[in-house]
Amino acid sequence: MKNTYLIGHIALQLSYVYDDFFASRIVPFQKDVIPDHFMEVSIESALVRPTFPVTMTYRDKTIYETKDMHYIVKTNASEAVTHLISYTPDYRKVTIQLSANIGERLPEVEYLLTGMMFFEMAIRRQMIPFHASAISYLDEAILFSAPSQTGKSTQADLWQKNLSEVQFINDDKPVIFLDHDVLHVSGTPWSGKTPRTNALVKPVKCILFLEQAPQNELIPLSNQDKLTHFFRNIHRPREEALIDEVLKSLELMIREVPIFLFQCRKDQEAFEYLYHALYRGDHL
Amino acid sequence: MKIKHGYILRNVASETIVVPTQEAAINFNGILTLNESGKLLWERLSQGATEAELLEMLMEHYDVQEKEAQSDIELFLDKLRAHHILEDA
């Protein structure tokens, strides 16, 4: 499947193999645009390591970098290459070669690796991938962020069940970015376990970092705590220049966007508490 | 002892934070937030320093008892060691 997609402000030409994960997630992003980023996936019977000197190794991955191309090689326990990713240093062109030996996990691996590489593209275009469930209500976005299993989707679900106007923007990894100094969120085709994502871009009303608790409470956060929560939940770059870009954006977000710790239950009371706080000014 | 290569000190939203970069970011997926004395200690450790030199520096900058300064330094160094941020100079 080869098509062009508009995701946030990235015009991506993506050629992928399996529809298992993409079919229900990528169609809303399909758009007739001139691509400025390219990604292609192929399945290979045999993969060979590059012959250049190794730049860096970590865990089961080896990185090779030349002036024009970078490579990530992943091997299995028998040292056989399971995938080889080649990309230009600016991440504009990415090729993902998967070993056929991966077998039945090929669709999932394809989905995860295309997501990983898209997030690297995004961060270079000043969009920060954010681990959150993002919903749209009254033309604004509410973002529930937390580590996995905390209940992001549960809170988003409660809002959708109670308010028919609520739409999912993305249930796992939207991208956030500043547009004329206003924080916006966009859906992406990578939405974790659920296919709940849409090609929506909305200004952000507030960000809620979640913690499970027996009683609901919205707690103001210090700037220090906001930064700690952000860094736990963003896809962060490793390059110093890109980190500085992200920090510049975070500084503005911290100043302009209401950000709270929401200690919450996983039931109707949590929705009611938060709804009254955000739209009637209670509890704040 | 010395701060390992790959950590950058930045001021964001009136807070001082340390962010790992490159290979350091693979091993430490978080940030450190520093108070004023933590920032001083970090800057000194970036160039390499002994515990005695750190103690002398804190005593020069703050009106603090030696025992208290020593305890602050130990806590700070423990935090850095826990994240494998220190190396021998």
Per the CB < 8 A criterion, the answer to whether A118 and A96 are in contact is no
Would you say A90 and A116 are in contact if contact means Cβ atoms under 8 Å apart? no
The CA distance from A247 to A13, in Å, is 29
Question: What tens-digit pLDDT sequence spans chain A (284 residues)?
Answer: 899 999 999 999 999 999 999 999 999 999 999 999 999 999 999 999 999 899 988 888 999 999 999 999 999 988 899 999 999 999 999 999 999 999 999 999 999 999 999 999 999 999 999 999 999 999 999 999 998 889 999 999 999 999 999 999 999 999 999 999 999 999 999 999 899 999 999 999 999 999 999 999 999 999 999 999 999 999 989 999 999 999 999 999 999 999 999 999 999 999 999 999 999 877 66
Residues A174 and A45 reside in one and the same domain: no
* Cα first-last separation, chain B: 4
Residue A136's domain comprises: 128-280
Contact B6, B22 (CB under 8 A): yes
Side-chain-facing half-sphere of A27: CA atoms under 13 Å: 7
Token pair, residue B33, equals 């937030």
A77 and A195 share one domain: no
- Of the candidates A67, A101, A124, which is a domain's last residue? A124
* ipTM summary value: 0.90
Kindly identify which residue of chain A lies nearest to residue B21, measuring between CA atoms: A238
- The residues of chain B scoring below 70 in pLDDT are none
Locate the DSSP E strands across chain B: 2-3, 7-12, 15-20, 32-34, 86-87
| pLDDT value, residue B26 | 82
Q: Are residues A110 and A146 in the same domain?
A: no
Helix (H, G, I), strand (E, B) or coil at A150: coil
Pair A153, A91 in one domain: no
Nearest residue in chain B measured CA to CA from A246: B12
Are A196 and A247 within one domain? yes
CATH number where A212 lies: 3.40.50
Task: Check B12 against A243: CB less than 8 A apart.
Answer: no
Is residue A151 located within the same domain as residue A186?
Answer: yes
Which residues have C-beta within 8 Å of that of residue A162, sequence separation ≥ 6?
Answer: A268, A271, A275
Degrees, nearest 5: CA angle A116-A121-A126: 120
Q: In what order do the strands lie in the sheet with A56-58?
A: A2-7, A10-15, A37-44, A93-99, A81-87, A70-75, A61-65, A56-58
B2-87: CATH class = mainly alpha
Quick one: A133 and A114 in the same domain? no
* Cα–Cα distance, A172 to A170 (Å, whole number): 6
The domain locations on chain B are 2-87
**A118 and A133 co-located in one domain:** no
Task: Quote helix, strand, coil % in chain A, to nearest 5.
Answer: 30, 35, 35
Give the number of domains in chain A: 2
Question: Do A220 and A206 contact (CB within 8 A), yes or no?
Answer: no
End-to-end CA distance of chain A: 49
Q: Which of B14, B23, B30 sits opposite A56 (nearest CB)?
A: B23
Q: Of A227, A236, A239, which has the smallest distance from its Cβ to B33's Cβ?
A: A227
Q: Are residues A95 and A144 in the same domain?
A: no
Is B14 within 8 Å of A243 when comparing Cβ atoms?
Answer: no
A243/B33 CB distance under 8 A: no
Domain boundary among A71, A92, A124: A124
Examine the domain organization and report whether A120 and A145 are in the same domain: no
For residue A179, the one-letter residue type is D
Same domain for A14 and A114 = yes
pLDDT at A183: 97
Chain B CB within 8 Å of residue A256 CB: no
Instruction: Identify the closest residue of chain A to B33 by CA–CA distance.
Output: A224
Contact A8, A201 (CB under 8 A): yes
| H or E element in which residue A87 lies | strand A81-87
Give yes or no for A69 touching B (CB within 8 A).
no
Other Cβ atoms less than 10 A from the Cβ of A162: the count is: 12
Q: Which of A124, A140, A172 is the last residue of a domain?
A: A124
Same domain, A132 and A120: no
Q: Please answer whether residues A113 and A120 qualify as being in contact, where contact means their C-beta atoms are separated by less than 8 angstroms.
A: no
